[in-house]
Structure formats: C-alpha cells, structure tokens
C-alpha cells in the first residue's frame, strides 16, 4: 500500500504535506443550512483542487461536536454527505479538526494510506455557545457554577495584565491588527476595525476584556487533504510539508495552572521542531486577544513574525474548525509562495488547556532538509 517515497532515515517518519485547503465563508448564523449543507461545498472545493474523489482517498478523518449540534452522533450525517460508498477507511474525533488532521497524519505514517481527507465543522448559532462551552468543565466542581468561556478568558487576561506581560491597549492593538488583516481574507467574518482609541472607549464585556478582545460567534467548516511523498508531489506543485507536529494537554482545573504560561504549547513546539529555525509567519488559534500574548511567549515569537495574516480566530471562530483552519491558512501561505516556513497552532479547552503545534515548510530545496 505504501507509496514510492523515500524513508526519512533519522526519524523513520514519512514526508507528509498539506496539498489542498478549503473553508466556508464564516458567518454569524446559517439558519437555512444544516451542518451537512454547510460542509458540502467545502468538501467539493477541496476535492476539486486535487482532482480526487472520496473513494480514491486512503483515509478520512473528521472533527466535530455533538454538543454544538444538539444531537448524538451528529457526525454520521456529515459522513452521509461525504458519500462513503463503497465503504471507506474512516474515523472521527470529538475534537477540533486539527486533531483529526493529527490522526490522519499518524495513519499516513503507518503506510496504510497515501492520501487523507480531513474535515471539521461547527455551528455555534443554534444555541448560546458561551453556555454550551461551560459543559466542557469538570462536571462536579466547575460546570455547576456555569463559568462561561468569556469569563474564564477574562481571568486569564487579568492574570497576564497583573503579571505585567500586557495591558489593555496592547490587547486592543492585537484586535485591530487581526481584523484589519482579515480585510484581505474573503472567508473572514469580521473584516476591518475601528482604531485603538475608539475600541478602548467601549465598555467591558467581562473586565478586563472588551467586545473586541473576544472572537465572533461563527458557523463554518473547513477541509484539508494530506498526501505522503510522491503522492503529495503529484497533487500540488508546492506542497506544504509537515516537518513536525505534536500536541500536549495540561491540567483541567484553572486554579492549578499558571494561566500566563502555556507549557503544553512549549512542549508541543519543542517536539515539533519549532525552535530549529525562524518562521516567516504564524497562524495561532488564540480566540481571545490576551491568548495571543500567552502563545507568543510560549513560542518565542517576536514582533518580527507576522501572526495571523488571515485575521485569525478574532476574525472568524467556527468552533471545532478554527484550529484546522490555522493549519490550512499556514499551508495556503506556502502554496501561494508567500512564505517558506510557517507555524500553525490549534487549541482546545478552557484557557488554552490543550495545544497542537505544526511546522510547515515549502519548496526551495527543503525536501529532506530541515526538520
């Protein structure tokens, strides 16, 4: 089943690349669309980019949440949309699609498949996503208190400000930079921003966070195609090679964590080889402005590295897809020849509890090169 690609001697890992990426135009609500209807155009797009059909894909893996969908086994409807006939080799994670991509990457590493379709989607609009996300918390000690996602992020921002790592102005600057960058991204939901002075005149949402510090509520979907070795070279002239990918989790209770640090991001980045060479850009899954500061510190990303040229999750935040979109946007920069080495990051859980880091590299003799 394995392709003709060479084995990478030091690690024994295969060269795997992102060869296609597609996403929806994310919006505040999609009342007229089911999750499947939201996803279908994205699947068609990503398959069309490669000329592949669902039954020619070696492995399929998706990420989604029953709690967002409001029903059990919601992913089965999406699978019907994929058209899993004849039967396909397929799996699903109840996680952001970035982790579905990780599972697919592992599958390609076994040599049992040479190509993989990864997709994820989420509709936050049918319910109150702030309330829904409280159901992620420890059911005995935290969830009964219903601390919502904005309140928890505000605790993290407060800790960061108190530690002297940022201030409200710098947070506002992050929001302005992200949403102005999104003017060039037709898929983004919030494009453009008032200036910092105007934003700082607004009332607090949950102190110290104002509305601009929070992500929009989004419905959206994304899909990526992975391919190994020669299959990747055949499907894209400039594949975005995954030079390293790793993910780590931290303790759940916010009270036992130092919320100004992200040791799990640091560990994942180290394992993914992120510190081996500088980056041309980074796509960070930081739904709240203060979380970008935490991640920049964990990743040693100075002001010279452009962060979230797509606008990032502050411009569109379809829960369950926003992490996969970071990997897709990072790959797209390489596909378009706008960057050679890009870091992609995804997160899950309250206050950046779980983090994934991927290092993507493009052409210019990098095959078999730095890793």
Partner 1 sequence: MSKQPVAVVGVGQTRHVAARQDVSIAGLVREAAVRALEDAELGWSDIDAVVIGKAPDFFEGVMMPELYLAEALGAVGKPMLRVHTAGSVGGSTALVASNLVAAGVHGTVLTVAFEKQSESNAMWGLSLPIPFQQPLTAGAGGFFAPHVRAYMRRTGAPDTVGSLVAFKDRRNALKNPYAHLHEHDLTLEKVQSSPMLWDPIRYSETCPSSDGACALVLTGERGAARAPRPPAWVHGGAMRSEPTIFAGKDYVSPQAGRDCAADVYRQAGVTDPRGQIDAVEMYVPFSWYEPMWLENLGFADEGEGWKLVEAGVTEMDGDLPVNPSGGVLSSNPIGASGMIRFAEAALQVRGLAGEHQIHGARRALGHAYGGGAQFFSMWLVGSERPDH
For partner 1, the binding residues (CB under 8 A) are: 2-3, 7, 11-14, 60, 65-67, 71-73, 75-77, 79-80, 83-95, 99, 102-103, 106-107, 109-112, 132-133, 135-140, 143, 246-253, 263-264, 267, 348-350, 353-354
Find the shortest distance in angstroms from Cβ 197 to partner 1: 38
Looking at the Cβ atoms of 137 and 307, the one nearer to partner 1 is 137
* Residue 21, phi then psi, degrees to nearest 5: -145, 135
Q: How far is the CB of 12 from partner 1 (least distance, A)?
A: 5
CA distance 371 to 360: 10
Q: Smallest gap, in angstroms, from Cβ of residue 255 to partner 1?
A: 12
In whole angstroms, give the CA distance from residue 353 to residue 122. Answer: 20
User: Which is closer to partner 1, CB of 254 or CB of 328?
Assistant: 254
The minimum distance between CB 328 and partner 1, in angstroms, equals 20
**Token pair for 158:** 């407060």
Are 257 and 155 a contacting pair, CB within 8 Å? no
Hey, is 86 helix, strand or coil? coil
Rounded least distance, CB 207 to partner 1, Å: 26
Looking only at the bridges linking them, the beta strands covering 341-348 and 281-283 are: parallel
CA of residue 239 relative to chain centroid, distance: 19
User: What's the burial of 255, exposed, middle or buried (CB within 10 Å: 0-12/13-18/19+)?
Assistant: exposed
Residues 197/269, Cβ–Cβ less than 8 Å: no
**64/174 with CB nearer partner 1:** 64
- Residue 225 C-beta: closest distance to partner 1, Å: 18
Nearer to partner 1, 11 or 202 (CB): 11
Rg (CA), the chain: 20
For partner 1, the closer of residues 124 and 310 by Cβ is 124
Which two three-digit tokens encode residue 136? 């992620």
CB of 86 or CB of 304, closer to partner 1: 86
Tokens encoding 195: 């200036």
CA–CA distance, 33 with 38 (Å, rounded to integer): 6
Query: Which residues, in sequence order, are bridge partners of residue 23?
Result: 222
Nearer to partner 1, 135 or 169 (CB): 135
> Residue 167 Cβ, how far from partner 1 at the closest point, in Å?
30
Residue 135: exposure state from Cβ atoms within 10 A (0-12, 13-18, ≥19): exposed
Residue with smaller CB distance to partner 1, 319 or 360: 319
Provide the minimum distance between the beta carbon of 34 and partner 1 in the complex, in angstroms, as a whole number.
9
Residue 295: CB minimum distance to partner 1, A:
17
Please identify which residue in the block is written with the tokens 């980074």.
Answer: 282
Q: Angle, to 10 degrees, between the axis of helix 75-82 and the axis of helix 35-50? A: 40
Closest by Cα among 44, 21, 7, 60 to 235: 21
Looking at the Cβ atoms of 3 and 220, the one nearer to partner 1 is 3
DSSP run (H or E) holding 357: strand 354-361
């Amino acid at each position: 089943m394995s392709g003709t690609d060479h084995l990478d001697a030091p690690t024994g890992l295969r060269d795997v690349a992102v060869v296609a990426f597609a996403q929806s135009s994310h919006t505040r609500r999609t009342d007229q669309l089911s999750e499947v209807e939201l996803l279908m155009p994205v699947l068609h797009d990503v398959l069309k980019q490669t000329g592949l059909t669902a039954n020619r894909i070696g492995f399929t893996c998706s990420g989604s949440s029953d709690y967002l969908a409001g029903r059990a086994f919601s992913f089965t409807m999406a699978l019907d949309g994929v058209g899993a006939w004849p039967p396909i080799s397929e799996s699903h994670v109840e996680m952001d699609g970035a982790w579905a991509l990780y599972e697919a990457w592992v599958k390609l590493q076994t040599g049992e498949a040479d190509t993989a379709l990864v997709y994820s989607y989420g509709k936050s609009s049918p319910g109150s996503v702030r309330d829904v996300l409280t159901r992620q918390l420890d059911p005995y000690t935290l969830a009964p208190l219903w601390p919502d996602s904005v309140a928890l992020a505000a605790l993290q921002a407060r800790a960061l400000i108190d530690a002297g790592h940022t201030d409200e102005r710098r947070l506002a600057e992050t929001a302005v930079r992200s949403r102005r960058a999104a003017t060039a991204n037709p898929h983004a939901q919030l494009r453009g921003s008032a200036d910092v002075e105007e934003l700082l005149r607004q009332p607090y949402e949950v102190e110290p966070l104002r509305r601009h510090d929070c992500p929009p509520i989004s419905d959206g979907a994304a899909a990526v195609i992975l391919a190994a070795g020669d299959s990747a070279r055949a499907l894209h002239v400039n594949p975005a090679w995954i030079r390293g990918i790793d993910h780590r989790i931290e303790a759940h209770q916010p009270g036992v964590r130092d919320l100004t640090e992200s040791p799990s991001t640091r560990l994942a980045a180290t394992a993914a080889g992120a510190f081996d060479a500088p980056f041309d850009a980074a796509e960070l899954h930081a739904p709240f402005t203060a979380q970008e500061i935490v991640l920049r510190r964990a990743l040693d990303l100075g002001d010279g590295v452009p962060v979230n040229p797509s606008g990032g999750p502050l411009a569109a935040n379809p829960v369950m897809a926003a992490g996969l979109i970071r990997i897709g946007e990072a790959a797209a920069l390489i596909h378009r020849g706008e960057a050679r080495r890009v870091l992609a990051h995804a997160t899950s859980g309250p206050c950046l509890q779980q983090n994934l880091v991927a290092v993507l590299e493009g052409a210019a003799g990098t095959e078999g090169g730095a890793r």
